[in-house]
Structure 1
Amino acid sequence: MFVNWAHYLVPKISFFLSLVFNPVFVYLIHSSKHVLFGNYRYLSYFFAIFNLCASAADLLIPVAVFYYRYTFVTLVVDAMRSEQGEASIAFRCSFISGTYGILNIHFIFRYLSLKSNNIIKNYFMPYGLLLSVIYVLFHMSIWAMIDYFCLHSAPEMRDYIRIPFRKLHNESIDNINFVAGLFSEASPDIVQRSWAGIVLLTMIASYSMILYFVLGYKIITGLHIESVTMSQQTAQMQKQLFKALTIQTIIPICVSFMPCSFSFYGAAFNIGFMNWVYWVSAVAVSMFPFLDPLAIILLLPALRRRSPRASTSPRLRLEKYNDLGCDVMIKYLQIKF
């Protein structure tokens, strides 16, 4: 099923960019000479692997979002209806929750590095890394189960959207795999499980957002207190690290939390968003896997100066030598990341 050219091309371009930036990010972290990233190095490898898996899932299971009155529908674009179709959609959507889990770990790691660095040094490898992987998989599993058990399709849903779906896409909804929420003008069972589904999914996203702001505030407070005893170079380095984390927080809010919220509650309250809002939501989610490593590369001078562009830029080559002292300081601090 063809939605539009943007919906067709953007996930493929995102996959290609993810295939470029994540290996580059891993290479820059792994081959760093002046900067000792410590245990964050291994966490970065896990983040990159997750991003590549998310991009592959988006390429292999391309999804679109359709809206009509009190229902939103997340459907597979390039596949015929099958018994495993809804499970594959739930698996694909679970990577949305995985991005929340990844960022949760990032904040927790940064907070512990600032407040209890001995825990990171002594216990992160292998226990912390293993717990991080389990935590992200748990996040994904919960989201997938909610999708599968609360938002699975039903004949009543197909009847509800049959005519408008055919008018918009010239396709029969009977041939499409989808998960959906129908919040009114339906049987009580469907309405109840639809509301239960989006409330549970919203709780997962909301607790993550609260965690970002709470730990972010604690990190800012900790940096302010400790900056009294920090050198100017160290304080500047810590500000750069927190700036990178801030951008990493904004990215999933823009490409995951907001699109999902528009999809869920636009249909739940029949707000009447145009359908382009919904297909933009599906496209935006596919952009996180390459924006995440790109943000770190661009915002951390220790990585930016070693990027391919830096080797051809006189200004950046000069910056590399001027900031060498900062690199040495990071190594000394065991990169409190």
Structure 2
Amino acid sequence: MYYISGFEILYAILNAIVQGHIFSHGPACIFFRNFKHSYFGRAEGFYLLVAYCNSFGLSIALFGVHFIYRYGAVDNVFRKKFLGGKKLLLLFLLPIFYGIWWCLVVAICYRSSSKSDDFMRIPLLENYDTRVEDISYVIIWFYVANDEGILGPKWTTFIGVANLWFMVTSSLVCVIFFGIKCYRKITRALKHSKMSSYYARSIQKQLFQALVLQTLVPVVLMYVPFGVLYVFPMLNIEVGFISTFVTATIEVYPAVDPLPTMFIVDNFRKTILCGCKMPNKKEEVSEAQNRRQTVS
């Protein structure tokens, strides 16, 4: 959880610095920032965008790693065998590896060029009243017209997409596989536990529900919008300003992500709704007695 919280803080800071925008036109989509009133020039702005894209690659791996770690917390055999010692460090380094990997993919496969400048010049002027020379951008350009005006695939873009789908698929497989195993392990443990009271079951149920919803948040706010963003240009469908909704969903993600835990887990929810009201001694004694009676 500390790992994820630290990532979200850094992501929010980087998002405030970059202030990026997404725009789709025909078979291409760009992620850009205006550097006209910025300390960063066009070249520096490009690498700033690449660094921002690092957060997406890191987040993809982070969700899978989170479920692997959660399963290790409930299965001692798995934890000792696969997450002991330096193996745990390797698990935490995996998101960093994914982030660097995605940075390289973006820098190599989605780099802008003079040809892409000419392609995006008029659409940017018409929709944003912005000159292409005043922005830094990365471009996902699926089909390029040849001298005869016939569209042909830009293979570097499709190679980048193949890398993306491998990263997303590997992450989702970990989430689904270890999420199911974690649920079964907890359910089985509660059935054979002497502490299998309503209170214990309720806590485990709340934590698992929070974990599931906390996983659905990035799926809804990041994975699905990015998928839509790739699909329309790949099919050469003009969406224009509609693509800007992706920017909005990405920006609200850090604020929405902690909400499931805050409002599903009873203790957190009561603390928030009661304004951090401290219980008196009589209430503490009464609550402790009720718990003992429930357990017995």
State the 1:63 CA deviation.
Answer: 0.9
Report the Cα distance in structure 2 between the residues aligned to 1:325 and 1:105, rounded to whole angstroms: 37
State the 1:133 CA deviation.
Answer: 3.8
State the 1:177 CA deviation.
Answer: 0.6
Distance verdict in 2 for CA 1:184–1:302, change over 3 Å? same
Residue number among 76, 97, 103 corresponding to 2:57 in the alignment: 97
State the 1:127 CA deviation.
Answer: 4.3
Residue number among 270, 277, 292 corresponding to 2:236 in the alignment: 270
| CA RMSD of superposed structures (Å) | 3.2
Give the structure 2 partner of residue 131 of structure 1. Answer: 90
Question: Computing the radius of gyration over CA atoms, which structure comes out larger, 1 or 2?
Answer: 2
Say whether the 8 Å CA contact 2:25–2:239 is kept in structure 1.
Answer: no
1:238 aligns with 2:204: yes
Give the structure 2 partner of residue 296 of structure 1. Answer: 261
Deviations 1:165-209 (A, max 9, x none): 110011111221100111113469981111111221122122212
Report the Cα distance in structure 2 between the residues aligned to 1:326 and 1:97, rounded to whole angstroms: 44
Give the structure 1 partner of residue 12 of structure 2. Answer: 55
Give the structure 2 partner of residue 46 of structure 1. Answer: 3
Report the residue type matching 1:286 in the other structure.
E
State the 1:117 CA deviation.
Answer: 6.6
Give the structure 1 partner of residue 156 of structure 2. Answer: 193
Residue number among 205, 217, 233 corresponding to 2:180 in the alignment: 217
Deviations 1:113-142 (A, max 9, x none): 12227837x966x74664344222112111
Report the residue type matching 1:74 in the other structure.
F
Give the structure 1 partner of residue 120 of structure 2. Answer: 161
Report the residue type matching 1:253 in the other structure.
V
Deviations 1:23-58 (A, max 9, x none): xxxxxxxxxxxxxxxxxxxxx322222111000000
Q: Higher RCO, 1 or 2 (CA under 8 Å, sep at least 6)?
A: 1
Distance verdict in 2 for CA 1:160–1:310, change over 3 Å? same
State the 1:269 CA deviation.
Answer: 0.9
Q: Between Structure 1 and Structure 2, how many residues are aligned?
A: 281
Q: TM-score scaled to structure 1, two decimals?
A: 0.74
Report the Cα distance in structure 2 between the residues aligned to 1:64 and 1:244, rounded to whole angstroms: 31
Give the structure 1 partner of residue 24 of structure 2. Answer: 67
Report the Cα distance in structure 2 between the residues aligned to 1:323 and 1:102, rounded to whole angstroms: 37
- Alignment gaps of 5+ in structure 1: 1-43, 330-337
Say whether the 8 Å CA contact 1:305–1:319 is kept in structure 2.
Answer: no
Q: TM-score scaled to structure 2, two decimals?
A: 0.83
Superposition pairs for residues 249-328 of structure 1, below 5 Å? 249-276=215-242, 278-307=243-272, 309-311=274-276, 322=287
State the 1:214 CA deviation.
Answer: 1.5
Give the structure 2 partner of residue 142 of structure 1. Answer: 101
DSSP-derived class of the 1:251 partner: helix
Report the Cα distance in structure 1 between the residues aligned to 2:47 and 2:78, rounded to whole angstroms: 42
DSSP-derived class of the 2:138 partner: strand
Distance verdict in 2 for CA 1:212–1:324, change over 3 Å? farther
Distance verdict in 2 for CA 1:298–1:129, change over 3 Å? farther
State the 1:313 CA deviation.
Answer: 10
DSSP-derived class of the 1:287 partner: helix
Identity across matched positions, percent: 18
DSSP-derived class of the 2:144 partner: coil
Say whether the 8 Å CA contact 1:104–1:212 is kept in structure 2.
Answer: yes
State the 1:319 CA deviation.
Answer: 11
Give the structure 1 partner of residue 44 of structure 2. Answer: 84
Distance verdict in 2 for CA 1:83–1:239, change over 3 Å? same
Give the structure 2 partner of residue 29 of structure 1. Answer: none
